[in-house]
Amino acid sequence: MEKLKEYVSVKDEDHFYHQGAVELLIFNFLLILTILTIWLFKNHRFRFLHETGGAMLYGLVMGLIIRYVTKSPDAESGTVYECEKLKSGPSTLLINITNQVYEYQYKREISRHNVNGHQGNTMLQKMTFDPSIFFNILLPPIIFHAGYSLKKRHFFRNLGSILTYAFLGTAISCIVIGLIMYGFVKAMVHIGQLKQWEFHFTDCLFFGSLMSATDPVTVLAIFHELNVDTDLYTLLFGESVLNDAVAIVLTHSISIYSPKENPNAFDAAAFFQSVGNFLGIFAGSFAMGSSYAVVTALISFMHLTKFTKLCEFPMLETGLFFLLSWSAFLSAEAAGLTGIVAVLFCGVTQAHYTYNNLSADSKMRTKQLFEFMNFLAENVIFCYMGLALFTFQNHIFNPLFIFGALVAAFVARASNIYPLSFLLNLGRKQKIPRTFQHMMMFSG
Amino acid sequence: MEKLKEYVSVKDEDHFYHQGAVELLIFNFLLILTILTIWLFKNHRFRFLHETGGAMLYGLVMGLIIRYVTKSPDAESGTVYECEKLKSGPSTLLINITNQVYEYQYKREISRHNVNGHQGNTMLQKMTFDPSIFFNILLPPIIFHAGYSLKKRHFFRNLGSILTYAFLGTAISCIVIGLIMYGFVKAMVHIGQLKQWEFHFTDCLFFGSLMSATDPVTVLAIFHELNVDTDLYTLLFGESVLNDAVAIVLTHSISIYSPKENPNAFDAAAFFQSVGNFLGIFAGSFAMGSSYAVVTALISFMHLTKFTKLCEFPMLETGLFFLLSWSAFLSAEAAGLTGIVAVLFCGVTQAHYTYNNLSADSKMRTKQLFEFMNFLAENVIFCYMGLALFTFQNHIFNPLFIFGALVAAFVARASNIYPLSFLLNLGRKQKIPRTFQHMMMFSG
């Protein structure tokens, strides 16, 4: 029942001490390099490379180094266990080795043909992208900061356009990309490029929803540098922030919808259930986020009026503010809603209500704290993205598929922007600048 | 060769999404409760319970709840693998389950008689103390902040006393506790209480060095509240901060020294090697920490003079400051030195050199940032300590041993303080307040 193959993996001598220090140090080193580069660029007014690009570039180089320079000390020893008793990977595994039970935690799946590749390179394994850190720790400060530093007046003035772009636009983009990719996949199967895989229509839609999330971070950073018109900035900002949330909810809905028994059939009931699910999740997340913000506002208001010694403890206030806002994200995640939507609206509501109740000291503290956290998280993510290109071990390189995806993305952007802009222009008599449309095309 | 026992562990449905959110939420919840309690206490001037005590209490209650209320959904399924091929737990393990390879990461050892206990309670497993998070993330800001906010004048005026207490005092305490515990252990073996274990003299010394690290956090917090004399405060502060570092280096040295082949023999060469090792590690860490700080000072100075636009980017400055200081800790750890000593002296040097080169905005930012991080980390640690009492799964309760440890600790404190105070009084003609001696006794 149990077979053993020889493989893998080194035992660290000092499990309890140096674990993680080297990996963290590498990230620190990359970030320091990035900051120094940003500094240099800003001083010399270089424009050709944005700081986020720099972070990614450094990550890329580091990924190359880690992949090809660092050797695994003794990669030969170790085992891959063949186990037929378990149906799927349990989150925790107990293993008895020479009368000592060791606990192992689930990390990830490894695709079959990558097992031989660079297993044994422990450094590479440790640097591999960890989604739970990304979602729970790096993402919330960025989105919260976006909501917190939102220019409310401009945002609410353009709310109609923003919502149209975010909801309708993302949905259109998702469906268009999904359809085009389905065509491509069918063609690829036809010419024999896609024998072994199975790409269903829901998989294509899934891919479409993933691709429809435009990245707010880079575009906003560049817009900020270029000092564009505030309305345009707000429009793009609102769209790209909500867009992320919509795309994530959409992705989640599609992944739930996709029925495993009969994946190709279009089930109308399931579709509407999925749409309802989508709206429910969005509304729930919105409610969760704003209610946390309202609680924060109430607490700080209570303390402002009842206890006069508030200004003595700006630390407690800042701490409470920080923790409650983070909790908004985490509760939404724990409840199966989307933390991103929750923390975004939490940020907006915090800025609207709580901010005015804070002491002068706390106002500045919270602002600077979130600014700093946003800055760090952003750069960490871009470094990570650079690193991931070489350290992520499940890459499958297929030029035709990549080409199809590019075409699909461009068509989707076009089919998204022009009709919607036209619609909004008619409906609201508001002139949307042509530059905006072009910018949107690049934001993908 | 391979036997299977039935056990353990649930598969999370959504490995990639909700993982970690619930656990983080629990900590957030505890911290929010703690902050609210602190606020209430400070407003009503309650003195009988310190805030750190509150954090620990809440952690304790939460630990109880997690242990006894949460049930593991299906704890029956799962396996403990008996594996004789491996000599020790590898850091990464690959397991093939129904043609899908899963990667598992080493988490910890589990003592034999606790395997049956509450395995399968995944929540409990996830909440268990993770030393790498504690060392790499929670500890550095606390120690750095201690160094950064040190009152230099008082510190350097009392440097002689502080170093005597820290080095000589900790060494005496370690040896005294070790000797007393060795006596107790011998007695316990004699009356048959300690059949199955083997306690060597080096193990007792190890225990002694662990017990010799007095906790700076609580005592300083209370001193701060009581507004004690600055010299006394500095003396205790310096002692307790260095003491930690000394005890950690001592522990490390003893653990290296303890020869596995012949653990009871006293080897003079190995002893002196251990002492040399101790001094080397201390000096190396000191050099590492200060050199990082000097680099930071140089960079900020360079930018202060060369580029005049510095004040525009306080964020970059703060980021660099933060990352370089953290790197001091991580590099020391990665190089096998002690990060604590490195980050402490990094903080002292940063305060002495870099602080004056910073822009006014960055000065405030860094101060507030480190204050905030210190505050959060401190409370997280105390919550953790409370939680650990019920979630740590390797507890062995032995009243006689605990009694012995208490006696040893008291004797060590007494043997430590009185002779040293006497010595210092003679040598430096400096009157050490009697209260200090009493305080020292409680600080253990």
Chain A residues within 8 A of B29 when measuring between CB atoms: 327
Residue of A337, A159, A140, A170 lying closest to A240 (CA atoms): A170
Chain A residues within 8 A of B313 when measuring between CB atoms: 39, 42
CB A101 within 8 A of CB A95: yes
Predicted local distance difference test score (pLDDT) of residue B423: 64
Predicted local distance difference test score (pLDDT) of residue B110: 61
Strand partners, B5: B80
Measure the CA–CA gap between B268 and B272, rounded to whole angstroms. 6
Cα A206 to chain centroid, rounded: 15
Chain A residues within 8 A of B369 when measuring between CB atoms: 368-369, 372
Token pair, residue B70, equals 């949460």
pLDDT digits 0-9 by tens, A95-133 = 666 666 676 766 666 655 455 544 445 666 666 667 777
Q: What is the DSSP string of B322-387?
A: HHHHHHHHHHHHHTTS-HHHHHHHHHHHIIIIIHHHS-HHHHHHHHHHHHHHHHHHHHHHHHHHHH
pLDDT digits 0-9 by tens, B364-388 = 888 889 989 988 888 888 888 888 7
CA atoms within 13 A on the CB side of B158: 24
Rounded to a whole number, what is the distance in Å from the CA of B39 to chain A's nearest CA? 7
CB A105 within 8 A of CB B15: no
Backbone angles phi, psi at A98, to 5 degrees: 40, 60
Chain A residues within 8 A of B105 when measuring between CB atoms: 104-107
**Block residue for tokens 């990461």:** B105
pLDDT digits 0-9 by tens, A421-441 = 666 654 444 444 444 444 444
Chain B residues within 8 A of A7 when measuring between CB atoms: 94
Residue of B443, B442, B430 lying closest to B161 (CA atoms): B430
Cα B78 to chain centroid, rounded: 34
CB–CB contact B11 A89 (8 Å): yes
Residue of A211, A197, A204 lying closest to A255 (CA atoms): A204
End-to-end CA distance of chain B: give it in Å, rounded.
49
A72 has pLDDT over 80 = no
Helix or strand or coil: residue B95? strand
A353 has pLDDT over 70 = yes
**Which residues 6+ apart lie within 8 Å of A284 measured at CB?**
A332, A335, A337
Helix B139-148 to helix B360-391 angle, to the nearest 10 degrees?
140
Token pair, residue A416, equals 């998204």
DSSP 8-state class, residue A73: T
CB–CB contact B330 A376 (8 Å): no
pLDDT, mean of residues B435-444: 44
Rounded to a whole number, what is the distance in Å from the CA of A276 to chain B's nearest CA? 21
Token pair, residue A164, equals 């149209």
Q: What is the DSSP string of A330-395?
A: HHHHHTTS-HHHHHHHHHHHIIIIIHHHS-HHHHHHHHHHHHHHHHHHHHHHHHHHHHHHHH-TT-
Chain A residues within 8 A of B93 when measuring between CB atoms: 8-9, 78-79, 81, 93, 95, 104
Question: Which range among A139-143, A306-310, A407-411, B186-190 has the greatest average pLDDT?
Answer: A139-143
Tell me which of A18, A125, A288, A392 to substitute to probe the interface with B (most B C-beta atoms closer than 10 Å): A18
Question: Which range among A25-29, A321-325, B83-87, B102-106 has the greatest average pLDDT?
Answer: A321-325
B200 has pLDDT over 60 = yes
B248 has pLDDT over 90 = no
Other C-beta atoms within 10 Å of A198: how many?
11
Measure the CA–CA gap between A205 and A405, rounded to whole angstroms. 12
CB–CB contact A91 B8 (8 Å): no
Share of chain A above pLDDT 90, in %: 5
Q: Which residue of B has its CA nearest to A80?
A: B94
CB–CB contact A24 B136 (8 Å): yes
CB B440 within 8 A of CB B161: no
CB–CB contact B327 A28 (8 Å): yes
Q: How far is CA B399 from CA A308, A336, B402, B404, in A?
A: 48, 46, 5, 9
CA atoms within 13 A on the CB side of A129: 24
Q: Which residue of B has its CA nearest to A98?
A: B84
CB–CB contact B110 A101 (8 Å): yes
Strand partners, B83: A97
- Look up residue B78 and give its amino acid: G
Predicted local distance difference test score (pLDDT) of residue A423: 63
Predicted local distance difference test score (pLDDT) of residue A118: 44
Predicted local distance difference test score (pLDDT) of residue B292: 92
DSSP 8-state class, residue A433: P
CB–CB contact B372 A315 (8 Å): yes
Measure the CA–CA gap between B254 and A426, rounded to whole angstroms. 79
pLDDT band at B398 (very low <50, low <70, confident <90, very high): confident
The alpha carbons of chain B give a radius of gyration, in whole angstroms, of 24
Residue of A240, A267, A35 lying closest to A147 (CA atoms): A240
Token pair, residue A281, equals 């999740």
pLDDT, mean of residues B299-320: 70
Closest partner CB to A107 (pick from B86, B105, B323): B105
Backbone angles phi, psi at B169, to 5 degrees: -60, -45
Token pair, residue A223, equals 């817009």
Rounded to a whole number, what is the distance in Å from the CA of A356 to chain B's nearest CA? 20
Chain A residues within 8 A of B319 when measuring between CB atoms: 31, 35, 372, 375-376, 379
Token pair, residue B6, equals 């039935």
pLDDT band at A146 (very low <50, low <70, confident <90, very high): confident
Residue of A236, A200, A217, A179 lying closest to A407 (CA atoms): A179
For residue A95, what is the enclosing H or E element? strand A92-97
pLDDT, mean of residues B177-205: 77
pLDDT band at A297 (very low <50, low <70, confident <90, very high): confident
Tell me which of B1, B6, B97 to substitute to probe the interface with A (most A C-beta atoms closer than 10 Å): B97
B188 has pLDDT over 90 = no
Q: Which domains does chain B have, with CATH numbers?
A: 1-71+92-127 (no CATH), 131-443 (1.20.1530)
CB–CB contact A132 B35 (8 Å): no
Other C-beta atoms within 10 Å of A69: how many?
8
Measure the CA–CA gap between B167 and B157, rounded to whole angstroms. 17
Q: What is the DSSP string of B100-116?
A: EEEEEEEEEEE-GGGHH
Chain B residues within 8 A of A22 when measuring between CB atoms: 330, 334
DSSP 8-state class, residue A39: H
Rounded to a whole number, what is the distance in Å from the CA of B193 to chain A's nearest CA? 23
Its pTM stands at 0.75
Closest partner CB to B316 (pick from A39, A133, A322): A39
B134 has pLDDT over 70 = yes
- Per-residue b/e over B40-72, b at no fewer than 16 CB within 10 Å? ebbbeeeeeebbbebbbbbbbebbeebbeeeeb
Inter-chain Cβ pairs, chain A and chain B, closer than 8 A = 335
DSSP 8-state class, residue B77: S
Measure the CA–CA gap between B221 and B51, rounded to whole angstroms. 9
Measure the CA–CA gap between A440 and A391, rounded to whole angstroms. 31
Measure the CA–CA gap between A107 and A89, rounded to whole angstroms. 10
End-to-end CA distance of chain A: give it in Å, rounded.
50
Chain A residues within 8 A of B371 when measuring between CB atoms: 315
- The more confidently predicted of residues A75 and B203 is B203
